[in-house]
């Protein structure tokens, strides 16, 4: 079987696919002024998504994460989940969402074939949640998580961006929340993007600080499989949930990179912080182009760099993560 391996010998069983750059939230670190120049009218169509996902599956990809912008804003969102889920070889269909109206919709996503769910919640305090996202919707988002667990999803992951002087005092509140629930809270270091160097300087907090706090409280780092990606995961015998730490600024973070990205315009992005993407769109127009598409993906992958250059302040072409899906 053909597979996706780069010059460094890393394998890529995981594709993160952005299906729209449109978003309705105004997260301070991502789209603080809202979404002004969305390209959602020219986003890849359901047929283009099917061809793309089929080509990646033929190259050994078994996990596809659907992201955005806010992916659930697409009117054909259910069809997209269903189509990807039915591609031979795709075992995991994950969704990353801000949780908008999820309390009313998540059961349908599961029916359509979603197997894994990541919900972004940066604060469990309603006023702070509103300050960060521009929306007073914490209850709605939490209600959606309850529904997802009740509907049979074995676990839910929550993405929480760590921000100094904003939500850095909330660790205990998050820990209390996951005591009796199978939820993994993944604390993500704030990453610098082209739009927000000042916000980054003011609010970036190293995950190592939280790591120390967790170890002190009796949490232990879990052993994860070799291909598990760059998150560190922690467990505690008294807690049903887990904590994940994603520290892109740590040394060796890129060694375990196992993911590629395609944005909503059909550009293959070799890294979140790459200088450019490589268009696949001209090869998504007909089912007869599959072999050419597969060859193009393999060829472009050989251009992947060893690592990102964030530590040198080089954020690449990524002005904010809503463009590329995080
Ligand atoms: N709108 C969806 C959501 O918020 O879950 C999906 C897209 S969003 C870009 C994906 C993830 O990227 C979210 O968990 C978000 O918190 C995270 N993110 C966005 N900008 C970030 C930044 N500068 N640093 C770290 N994480 C960021
Ligand atoms: Fe929208 Fe997600 Fe960015 Fe927040 S992080 S503004 S929800 S794309």
Q: How many domains does the chain have?
A: 1
Distances (CA, A) of 317 to 7, 81, 193, 272, 310: 23, 29, 9, 9, 12
Beta-carbon contacts of 238 under 8 Å, excluding residues fewer than 6 positions away, are: 179, 218
* CA 215 – ligand 1 centroid, Å: 26
9 lies in a domain?
no
73 lies in a domain?
yes
pLDDT at 179 (0 to 100): 98
The angle subtended at Cα 19 by Cα 14 and Cα 23, nearest 5°, is 120
pLDDT at 227 (0 to 100): 67
List the single range of 71-80, 138-147, 230-239, 242-251 with lowest mean pLDDT. Answer: 242-251
Domain of 169, CATH number, reads 3.20.20.70
Average pLDDT, the chain: 93
Instruction: Region of 173 please: left (phi>0), alpha (psi -120 to 50) or beta.
Output: alpha
212 lies in a domain?
yes
8 lies in a domain?
no
Q: Find out whether the beta carbon of 19 lies less than 6 Å from any atom of ligand 2.
A: no
- What does pTM read for this prediction? 0.95
* CA 70 – ligand 1 centroid, Å: 10
**pLDDT per position as a tens digit, 266-278:** 999 998 888 889 9
Residue 1 has pLDDT above 70, yes or no: no
Using an 8 Å Cβ cutoff, are 229 and 14 in contact?
A: yes
197 lies in a domain?
yes
φ/ψ of 220, rounded to 5, equals -125, 145
* CA 162 – ligand 1 centroid, Å: 11
203 lies in a domain?
yes
Specify the DSSP class assigned to residue 100. Answer: T
pLDDT band at 234 (very low <50, low <70, confident <90, very high): very high
CA atoms within 13 A on the CB side of 293: 26
1 lies in a domain?
no
Helices and strands (H and E) in the chain: how many: 9, 12
The whole domain housing 33 covers 14-323
163 lies in a domain?
yes
Specify the DSSP class assigned to residue 124. Answer: S
């Amino acid at each position: 079987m053909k597979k996706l391996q780069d010059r460094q010998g890393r394998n890529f069983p995981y594709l993160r696919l952005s299906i729209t750059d449109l978003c309705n939230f105004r997260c301070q670190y991502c789209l603080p002024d809202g979404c002004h120049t969305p390209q959602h009218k020219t986003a890849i169509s359901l047929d283009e998504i099917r061809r793309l996902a089929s080509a990646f599956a033929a190259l050994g990809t078994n996990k596809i994460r659907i992201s955005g912008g806010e992916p659930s804003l697409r009117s054909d969102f259910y069809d997209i989940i269903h189509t990807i889920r039915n591609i031979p070889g795709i075992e995991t269909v994950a969704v990353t969402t801000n949780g908008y109206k999820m309390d009313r919709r998540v059961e349908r996503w599961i029916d359509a074939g979603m197997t894994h769910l990541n919900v972004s919640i940066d604060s469990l305090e309603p006023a702070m949640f509103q300050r960060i996202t521009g929306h007073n919707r914490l209850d709605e988002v939490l209600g959606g998580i309850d529904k997802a667990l009740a509907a049979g999803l074995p676990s839910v992951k929550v993405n929480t961006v760590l921000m100094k002087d904003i939500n850095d005092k909330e660790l205990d509140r998050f820990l209390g929340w996951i005591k009796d629930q199978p939820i993994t809270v993944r604390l993500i270091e704030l990453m610098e993007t082209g739009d927000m160097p000042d916000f980054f300087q003011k609010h970036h907090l190293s995950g190592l600080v939280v790591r120390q706090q967790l170890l002190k409280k009796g949490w232990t780092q879990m052993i994860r499989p070799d291909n598990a990606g760059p998150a560190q995961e922690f467990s505690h015998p008294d807690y049903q949930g887990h904590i994940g730490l994603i520290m892109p600024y740590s040394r060796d973070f890129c060694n375990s990179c196992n993911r590629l990205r395609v944005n909503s315009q059909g550009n293959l992005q070799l890294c979140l912080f790459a200088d450019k993407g490589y268009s696949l769109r001209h090869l998504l127009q007909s089912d007869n182009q599959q072999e050419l598409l597969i060859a193009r993906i393999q060829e472009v992958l050989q251009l992947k760099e060893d690592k990102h250059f964030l530590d040198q302040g080089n954020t690449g072409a990524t002005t904010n993560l809503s463009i590329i899906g995080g």
